[in-house]
Chain A
Amino acid sequence: MRQKLLPIITALAILSGLPMASAASPEQDLKKFQNYFKKKFPKVKWEEFANGVYAVDPIGRENWEAIEEFPPYEPFIDEGEEMWNKAFANGKHYKDCFPDGPAIAAKYPRWDKAKGMVVTLPLAINNCRKANGEKPLKYKKGKINSLLAYIAFQSRGQKTHVVIPKDDPRALEAYEKGKKFYFTKRGQLNFSCANCHVQNAGNKIRSDILSPALGHTTHWPTYRSKWGTVGTLHRRFTGCNKQVRAKPFKAQGEQYRDLEYFLTYMSNGLPLNGPGARK
């Protein structure tokens, strides 16, 4: 019996020991990640990374700047403001859930110790609605984007500062899961997120320039010409997964929330500039 157990115990020790020994801290990851992009794009100023592909695509940028003169997301901001100010059926407002609102975008995503999960802004909005007897909004398309657009607009200029609290190992676990997701090859085409947006950022895929991962999270919700409307970050995740021919995960499910947690953390220090406009 003991003879049989010993190799198992040894194997377990090696298995559990290895990742511990090789795992970098989030702070180390952050430095490595950001330095990688600074080195890859030495001419791009730090704040410029918040402009995504337009930081590295001078031709696309001209078009984009023209679009930003009359932003297509503007009506959504206005609609979101109405939503923010309108009372729920019970007479309460969003403000009762978010006393610091509406400029609260930089507070998310955040680790919620009581719930033991990453809470994103769209999730917090629906939690608020449910607590006040309102129907939750859909997470990819529709009205939630208007409210998010208003909040994002009010939060412009705030800086990304995601915190991975040290007092709860589950927060680090969620971060690690999101990180693993980012570098995992998926789908029939066998792409990881990093294949396109780290390894080949700045390269052309057909006639499109691949945007750098750094800055991916600063400008949501985003009006995409391809969508003809404003959509959420998780809608974009869904699209990316489909493009590599993987089955997408649920918007606001654990995988995408953890992914958002990791990816937003990687952009720590960049200014928030949502809502955005993209091709």
Chain B
Amino acid sequence: MMKRKSRVLVTAAGAAAILFGGLVIEPAVHNSAHAESAADAGKKIAFSRKKGNCIACHIIAGGTSPGTIGPPLVGMQARYPDKSKLRAQIWDATKANPITMMPPFGRHKILSEKEIDQVLAFIMTL
């Protein structure tokens, strides 16, 4: 039911896009700018002492005095082809290792779901 509805929507959107060809470029640009700003917001969180503070434990390009507790955050796309697995690790690392030092950012509501998405967007650029 849902699927059929969305297919209808896509078609409708497609038709609209074709009809208003001039408008096509604008939303596309808007979208990539949006993604960029999510990563930027995520970077701020990752480097902030009160928020994510990822830098306290992980080496991150662009950050000074990183900790050595967790693995360096590099090559994340290759290490986590499945982005959702990385998100799950940020959300609750104790699932994979009950005595991990990594705080359960989602489960303990240290970060909001939106903030986790932003951190994820940032980390995936590393």
Contact = CB atoms under 8 A, between A and B. Distances in A.
A225 interface: no
A191 interface: yes
B66 A206 contact: yes
B103 A206 contact: no
Given A205-B56, A205-B57, A206-B56, A189 B103 contact: yes
Contacts of B104: 190
A204 B110 contact: no
A195 B110 contact: no
Contact of A204 (B68, B94, B103, B108): B68
A190 B109 CA distance: 11
Interface string B60-84: 0000011111000000000000000
Given A189-B110, A204-B68, A199 B56 contact: no
Contacts, number: 40
Interface residues of A, number: 16
B94 A190 contact: yes
Interface in B32-59: 55-57
Nearest to A200: B69
Contacts of B101: 191, 195-196, 199-200
A192 B67 CA distance: 18
Interface of B: 55-57, 65-69, 94, 99, 101, 103-104, 108-110
A99 B56 CA distance: 49
Given A188-B110, A192-B99, A206-B55, 13 more contacts: A188-B108, A189-B103, A189-B108, A190-B94, A190-B103, A190-B104, A190-B108, A195-B101, A200-B69, A203-B67, A204-B68, A206-B56, A206-B67
A207 interface: yes
Contacts of A191: 101, 103
- Which of B69, B94, B108 counts the most chain A CB atoms within 10 A? B69
B69 A188 contact: no
22 contacts: A188-B109, A188-B110, A189-B108, A189-B110, A190-B103, A190-B104, A191-B101, A192-B99, A195-B101, A199-B101, A200-B101, A203-B68, A204-B66, A204-B68, A204-B69, A205-B56, A205-B57, A205-B67, A205-B69, A206-B55, A206-B56, A206-B66
Contact of B103 (A188, A199, A200, A203): A188
Contacts of A199: 99, 101
A194 B65 CA distance: 23
Interface string A174-206: 000000000001001111101110011001111
B67 to A, nearest CB: 5
Contacts of A196: 101
Nearest to B103: A189
Contacts of A206: 55-56, 65-67
